Structure 1
């Protein structure tokens, strides 16, 4: 029954990309449950949020620690969960496939795989290496007999280089290559302008995922453009901690407790989560 449910969740998640939807990113069981109660049909994880909640910087958290968080999130909700695995925790395709195998065994239906690196001299991974990773994940799904939704993240808009380059052209080139390798969706964080998003939509077949950020066109505009998915990244996590910072300052500087004590979620609500 569990395997049947996992396959059905994977199918349901893939079907969501036939239309437009918003995918919030959770960092623990409670945030996942809140998003489910809001009515979202699926959710993702935020690697930055999970890392920070465990006391790590983004992309420095041990894989086993991330996997524990993923299990907690998956078990807290009934909706599909896709997992941000950063760069796959390795360069060898077989190592990345092993990581994905464990993530899927934890109950996830898909992954984000990014092509940026931690090397300032080479901020983007070679396209051929990224293709091999995607192909290895696709083959893993076939062996397991469970669909694994691959959201291929490409980061030309995300990285900073001293030498200007055509971010849109590089994004499109990488998107085509990743689709050829078997990616189900192309994720382009950092793209914001209406014209660039429209061109991206015109040049790429298949689902496109963009990241919610200041300056991004509205959800209605993106839906009209034909974008399938908006994810939130670490935005909700940062918003929660911004609020935590503000109520802490109110308590210390003004002796005011109302912002905390008048929250919509009561103690009983928290227990029911």
Structure 2
């Protein structure tokens, strides 16, 4: 087993390898083990998927104690780096945020996603406030004598859908550059989907850019050619799993037989 810092270093290296890092986000140890078995070099969680799998709504509704326990089990179950979606930090103040970062590091986490939307108002935080949060996270990792890959999510395209594309792009670049200056290692402009927008973000930010694979986004091979460093799936793998399970269980109920159902009979 590598140390937490070694895994953080590997996670950073994977973002700079020239090969796009594809992360189908999971929500439990079984999913993490499966990804490692299939040869994925890292594991990422999805906050919405973890919340839904345990009966909670997204938006930091799941207790942080439970989240840490789940994350620790995931990290313990695999040898590859684990990066965790911690939404806005599960913290109303800096002391709580510091504690939360320490706990995730202790759980074996190699990286985090942290977003710039206020979990209560669903409005974007002021740039300066998010910059201070990112600096604080970096200081905590340094004081813990460890390393942590910080993927700073900006929600411009998510929270401001009615703005003209060029204005959203300008705001995302402004925030991305500020977050990079504050110590973020990568930028995640979630819901950026237009090919020209993605290309401009990659060229303007000069750090690894993370794109969400969604229906209206360019296909993965196109994103690779555009220079995207990382692709996430958010809660979509969990949703696909539930749809597959629904079809399987519906078939069992309607046919009154388990035999024709592929994968159910062992």
C-alpha offsets along residues 226-268 of structure 1, whole Å, 9 cap, x if unaligned?
1100011111111110111111222233445356x422x875x
For residue 178 of structure 1, what is the aligned residue in structure 2?
Answer: 179
Shift of 1:202: 1.8
Q: Is the 8 A contact 1:43 1:79 kept in 2?
A: yes
C-alpha offsets along residues 167-195 of structure 1, whole Å, 9 cap, x if unaligned?
21111111111111110000111111101
Partners of 1:118 and 1:87 in 2: CA distance: 7
SS of the residue aligned with 1:157? helix
Partners of 2:151 and 2:173 in 1: CA distance: 15
What is the TM-score normalised by the length of structure 1? 0.90
For residue 16 of structure 1, what is the aligned residue in structure 2?
Answer: 14
Root-mean-square deviation (Å): 2.0
SS of the residue aligned with 2:151? strand
For residue 224 of structure 1, what is the aligned residue in structure 2?
Answer: 225
Shift of 1:119: 4.4
For residue 193 of structure 2, what is the aligned residue in structure 1?
Answer: 192
Partners of 2:265 and 2:185 in 1: CA distance: 40
Structure 2: give runs of 5+ residues left out of the alignment.
Answer: none
Q: Is the 8 A contact 2:259 2:265 kept in 1?
A: no
Q: Is the 8 A contact 1:9 1:109 kept in 2?
A: yes
Partners of 2:161 and 2:214 in 1: CA distance: 21
Partners of 2:137 and 2:76 in 1: CA distance: 23
Shift of 1:10: 1.3
SS of the residue aligned with 1:96? helix
Equivalence map 1:1-273=2 (5 Å): 5-19=3-17, 20-59=20-59, 60-120=61-121, 123-160=123-160, 166-255=167-256, 257=258, 261-263=261-263
For residue 270 of structure 1, what is the aligned residue in structure 2?
Answer: none
What is the TM-score normalised by the length of structure 2? 0.92
Count of residues in correspondence between the two structures: 262
